[in-house]
Amino acid sequence: MEMRALGRTEVQLSSVGLGVMNFGAQTAEDDAFRILDMAFDAGITLFDTAENYPAPVAAATQGRSEEILGRWIAARRLRDRVIVATKVAGPGNAAGDMSHIRGNKRRLDRANIVQAVDDSLRRLDTDHIDLYQVHWPERAVTTLGRSRYSCIPDSPALVPIEETLEALGEQVQAGKIRHIGVANETPWGVMRYLAAARERGLPRIVAIQNGYSLLDRYFELGLAEIAMREQVGLLAYSPLAGGLLTGKYVGAPAPIPGSRSSLSPGFSARFTDKKMRATAAYTALARQHGLEPAAMALAFVRQQPFTTSVLMAASSPAQLELNLRSLELDLSKELLKQINAIHDDLPNP
């Protein structure tokens, strides 16, 4: 397993991480433990969760992903050998109704962050969090349903980035979190965090967790340069585009029993004609080269110079075993040219 630096810190983490957002809902605890064991045995040291997981988000299950991860770490006595990452939910989270998390006053201010950190520490059964991330900006951003930017006036209650960073800095000073990151952020937002850290002597963000895959390469348009020049690397989530890039939906886009498409009604909206044509092209290209489509997709994300770690998810040990094959794969320059040709023809469907 290749190890990479977390931002400008001395922390080294695995180039592939495990996202556990399905633990406690789609994946039961015994299967989750088997998946976690398999991941660690393969060399994975980064384990990523959030206070609102598992997904689909529900009051009855909220926090279970952190709890399962915490119980596994304690049972295996691995706390000093793994990197635990979790996230604070704010009003901008796009995962549906989350009023069960600190009610309607959930914001990215000091009071909410203090409570969120303490609650996550309790569920994770640990005294510190290695990487604590802001799950979504409070302001409206161009992602998930807003494909074109329009300047929406900020809410009067909007918490400035500087105030959020100050609150996070207090938690670093208290020893409750080690490092800070952002998720689902824009180039403007990342640069504001970096400027605030420099101007106010506050902790510097070390990572950006955004979506990135063969079907979603928007990160390259603005954030890639920032990630490389500022050494704030990408933690890439959804590298398989919610399972589309496994190829299992090609020719059969109806919900597959037990899959995320069967559990999330809104998931079927992803099966657009353009997206399915691109998926079919990438699937055919992988098989032409004798590769599993998922392995090719994961290797592509891992090989990007701005990527720190690829967050793969698995709902079963068998699925993780298949995904781990990407660790043995390095895509040739010729194959990368063919991938880029598909992208140029069907960009970011």
pLDDT in tens, 133-184: 999 999 888 765 556 677 778 888 899 999 999 999 999 999 999 999 999 9
Calculate the average pLDDT of the chain. Answer: 91
The answer to whether residue 60 is domain-embedded is: yes
| Cα Rg of the chain (Å, integer) | 19
Amino acid 260 reads: R
Is the separation of the CB atoms in 157 and 109 below 8 Å? no
How many CB atoms are closer than 10 A to CB 147?
A: 9
Between helix 333-345 and helix 293-302 the angle, nearest 10°, is: 100
Catalytic residue among 53, 132, 237, 282: 53
Which residue, among 73, 145, 60, 136, has the nearest Cα to 100 in the 3D structure? 60
> CATH no. for residue 241?
3.20.20.100
* 149 catalytically annotated: no
pLDDT in tens, 194-250: 999 999 999 999 999 999 999 999 999 999 999 999 999 999 999 999 889 998 888
The answer to whether residue 172 is domain-embedded is: yes
The answer to whether residue 107 is domain-embedded is: yes
The lowest-confidence range among 17-26, 100-109, 122-131, 140-149 is: 140-149
The answer to whether residue 349 is domain-embedded is: no
- The number of domains in the chain is 1
Is the separation of the CB atoms in 72 and 36 below 8 Å? yes
Nearest-angstrom CA–CA distance, 256 and 247 = 12
The answer to whether residue 306 is domain-embedded is: yes
Distance, CA of 156 to chain centre: 29
Structure tokens belonging to residue 288: 């032409």
Element (H, E) at 122: helix 110-124
- Boundaries of domain holding 201: 3-245+295-331
Nearest-angstrom CA–CA distance, 140 and 213 = 23
The answer to whether residue 36 is domain-embedded is: yes
Residue 73 DSSP symbol: H
pTM: 0.93
Which residue, among 26, 15, 17, 16, has the nearest Cα to 53 in the 3D structure? 26
The answer to whether residue 165 is domain-embedded is: yes
Structure tokens belonging to residue 55: 């997904």
